[in-house]
Amino acid sequence: MSLTASFVLAAALSCLVTGTFFALYVVPAVRRRPLGAALVLLLWPHVFRFVALEIYSAAAMGHISANPATLNLTVFGDVLSAVLALVAIWALSARARGARVLAGVAVTLGSLDIANAVVSSLADGVAGTISDLSWFIFVYLRISGHLITRFTVT
């Protein structure tokens, strides 16, 4: 099996497993909460998207190969998503006006970022070069966590 095919399979299985977990356990728990509190719970995983900064060390160590523009765009999108998620959590916790809109913006921009990262990575051949911890971070944390949150918020 090629590295790209194994990347796609790992991403699909990650989404299936995480989706099942969320459908059976998280969605019922979230539905019992007020919308603001539910959004806070769903935004928390995005706060940790700054872990994408690890891409630079992975590239330096030879665990991932991509052009610097792709790496910078990927990291910028993830860090921006993390900051927006944290600000949205603060706003929701303070019951600030526009907090729900901010949460929607965070999820929408995060969705666009993950779509762009997947397309860019496949086009740039990054998926075929990911190894070690970078593989786990890219496949599981970025794809599954974000897709599940996107589907449960809407």
Segments making up each domain of the chain, as ranges: 3-153
More confident site: 55 or 77: 77
The mean pLDDT value for 107-127 works out to: 73
Q: What is the pLDDT of residues 97-107, one digit of tens each?
A: 999 999 989 98
Q: 102: which residues sit within 8 A by CB, 6+ positions away?
A: 84, 87, 88, 91, 92
| For residue 24, pLDDT beyond 70 | yes
Task: Round to whole Å and give the CA distance between 121 and 62.
Answer: 16
Q: What is the pLDDT of residues 41-72, one digit of tens each?
A: 888 888 888 877 777 777 777 666 667 877 78
Write the DSSP symbol of residue 33.
Answer: S
Q: Burial-class residue 34 by CB neighbours within 10 Å (0-12, 13-18, 19+).
A: exposed
Q: Identify the three-state secondary structure at position 130.
A: coil
Q: pLDDT category, 121, cuts 50, 70, 90? A: low
The tokens 């900051």 sit on which residue?
Answer: 83
Task: Round to whole Å and give the CA distance between 37 and 78.
Answer: 23
